Each structure stands twice: as C-alpha cells, then as structure tokens.
C-alpha cells in the first residue's frame, strides 16, 4: 500500500459566542466561570473542532452534515456524542488516531490549570493513551472577538494511520 493510503491528516476549527451564566464547558469538562458558550447543542467548541478534524481526515464531511443544527434531536445535545460518533467513523474506515493536537483561544478563564484535565478527558473519550492528546491555550491579547471575550475559538489537528500500522 502507498503511504498516502495509510496516513491521513484532518483539521478542525470552531467558534462559539460567550454569553452570561456559567459554568463553561470545554472538551467535555465543566469549568467554573461566569459565562458559557451559546449554540444549538451544548456548544462545546473544542469537541466540535476535534469532531471536524476527525471527519475531515477520513473525507467524511463535517459536523454540520452529520449533526445538523436545525435538527431538534441535537438541541442541547452533549457534544461527547459527536466526537464519539466521529471516532466510530474513523474506526469503521480502518483508521486509528496517531495523535491529536488542539488549541483553545480564550481570553478568560485561564486554562493553564485545567488543560491537562481536558486532554486526559478527551483521550478517554477516544480510547487513547494520554500522551496522544495535547491541549494548548492561547489568549487574544485583549484584541478582537477573542480578546474582548465575545467568543471562544478552538482548532484541532489529527493524524490518523491504518490500524494495522499502529502497535
Ligand atoms: Mg460548533
């Protein structure tokens, strides 16, 4: 088999508005904060970016196609469902995650104290060892929609390999 048939890369990005009232949910972890993210589902911006990275890597479209934000069944839905389902698609197509790297762009709250907990929670959701998932946090330096706390954004990039290549 060619290398191209054995490895894949996927990229995801998402943005959600911050609105009053906590707690904040990021990567499936509840973080004490006086604002939360607004959206049709639970608006977990990090899980949405990861879901899109996984789907993109196997050419399976995007989160909006699988889980439309017009569908009543997705209202308030736990985004854990999305990432688990995207991982199922990856598995069904014979691939496994090599590693996943993420960035959360948030002016506040400071995520340095929770990013390891978020990474290990995501690793558990994806049945991965903790060293395969990395979560980084950046602020907006007080500028733009991130820096003025109008939004939180997230990016994710994932590398997949055919299952038989990973030992
Ligand atoms: Mg989203």
- As a whole number, the mean pLDDT across the chain is 94
- Amino acid 1: pLDDT: 58
Measured in Å, residue 57 CA sits from the centre of ligand 1 at 18
Q: 16 is written with which tokens?
A: 């959600």
Global pTM value: 0.95
Describe the chain by its helix, strand, coil percentages, rounded to 5.
35, 30, 35
Measured in Å, residue 2 CA sits from the centre of ligand 1 at 34
Burial 15-30 (b: 16+ CB within 10 A, else e): bbebeeeeebbbbbbe
- Amino acid 67: pLDDT: 85
Measured in Å, residue 142 CA sits from the centre of ligand 1 at 23
pLDDT score of 10 more than 90: yes
By residue count, the chain amounts to: 167
Report pLDDT digits (tens) over 88-138. 999 999 999 999 999 999 999 999 999 999 999 999 999 999 999 999 999
């Amino acid at each position: 088999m060619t290398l191209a048939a054995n490895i894949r890369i996927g990229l995801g990005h998402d943005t959600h508005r911050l609105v009053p009232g906590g707690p904040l949910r990021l990567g499936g972890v509840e973080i004490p904060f006086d604002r939360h993210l607004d959206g049709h589902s639970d608006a977990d911006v990090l899980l949405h970016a990861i879901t899109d990275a996984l789907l993109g890597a196997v050419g399976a479209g995007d989160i909006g196609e699988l889980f439309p934000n017009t569908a009543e069944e997705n209202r308030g839905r736990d985004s854990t469902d999305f990432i688990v389902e995207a991982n199922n698609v990856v598995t069904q197509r014979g691939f496994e995650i090599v590693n996943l790297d993420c960035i959360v762009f948030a002016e506040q709250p400071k995520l340095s104290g929770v990013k390891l907990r978020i990474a290990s929670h995501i690793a558990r959701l994806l049945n991965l060892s903790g060293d395969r998932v990395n979560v980084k946090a950046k602020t907006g330096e007080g500028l733009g929609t991130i820096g003025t706390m109008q939004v939180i954004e997230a990016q994710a990039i994932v590398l997949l390999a055919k299952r038989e290549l990973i030992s």
